[in-house]
Amino acid sequence: MNIQSPSQYDALSRAFHWLTVIVVTIAFILGPEHFGQLARRGIDPASRSDIVWHESLGILVLLLTVLRLLWLAFRPAPPQIPMSSRMHLMGRLMHVALWTLLLALPVTAFMALGSEGHALTLLDGVRIDQFPMIANSAFAKWFDWGDVHKFLGDAVMWLAGLHAAAAIYHHLVLKDGVLSTMLPRKGIR
C-alpha cells in the first residue's frame, strides 16, 4: 500500500511555527542594549517597557518551544518533499540548530539574570527578584551570560534568515513546494 505524504504540515505545527517567528522577532527587536549596565546603574527593569516585553516574550518563546517539542511526538506525519540527501541533511542541521537556540536563549537569559542578581520582570507586574540556585551555582561564573545571550540572539536571527532564504530558494528556483508546506492552505503555490 502506498500512503501519500501530506502536502502541508498540520495546522497546529504551522501555527506554532509562525507564532514563534513573530514572538522571537519582536523579542529580538525589543532586546534592551546593555541591560546589565542599566541594572548596575540602578535602573529598575520594571520601569522599562522594552525590558518587560522582552522578558515576557522570552518566557513565551520557552513555552512555545516546549509545546512544539511535545507536539512533535504526536503530530501527523510531516510532508516529504523529494530532494537530495545533502539538502535533507542541511535542513535537519538547520532545524536542530534553531531548536537548540530556541531552548538555549531562555536558559542563558535566566543564567544572566541569576548570575548578575537582576530581577525577571514580566507583564502584569510579575517579578522574580532573585535566582539563588543560579547565583550560587558554579555555572554562574563560567561566562558573562548576558554576552552569551546576546550572541545567541543574534545567531538565531541569522539562522532564521538563512532558513527563510532557503525556503524562498526552494520556492523560486527549485519550485519543489517546500515553502507551501508551512503556508496557509491558500498560500503561495
* pLDDT surpasses 80 at 150: yes
139/4: higher pLDDT: 139
Percent of the chain with pLDDT over 70: 84
pLDDT of res. 185? 73
Kindly state the cell numbers that stand for 64. 512555545
* pLDDT surpasses 70 at 140: no
DSSP label at residue 141: G
Interior CA angle at 122 toward 119 and 127, to 5°?
45
**Mean of the pLDDT values across residues 36-59?**
77
- Identify the three-state secondary structure at position 128: strand
* pLDDT surpasses 60 at 143: yes
Q: pLDDT per residue over 155-186, tens digit each?
A: 999 999 999 999 999 889 988 888 888 888 76
For residue 106, report the phi and psi dihedrals to the nearest 5 degrees. -65, -35
**Mean of the pLDDT values across residues 111-135?**
76
Mean of per-residue pLDDT scores for the chain = 84
Helix (H) or strand (E) holding 43: none
- Identify the three-state secondary structure at position 121: strand
* pLDDT surpasses 70 at 35: no
pLDDT of res. 2? 46
Q: Which domains does the chain have, with CATH numbers?
A: 11-182 (1.20.950)
Nearest alpha-carbon partner for 55 in 110, 130, 16: 110
> 17: exposed, middle or buried (C-beta count within 10 Å: 0-12, 13-18, 19+)?
middle
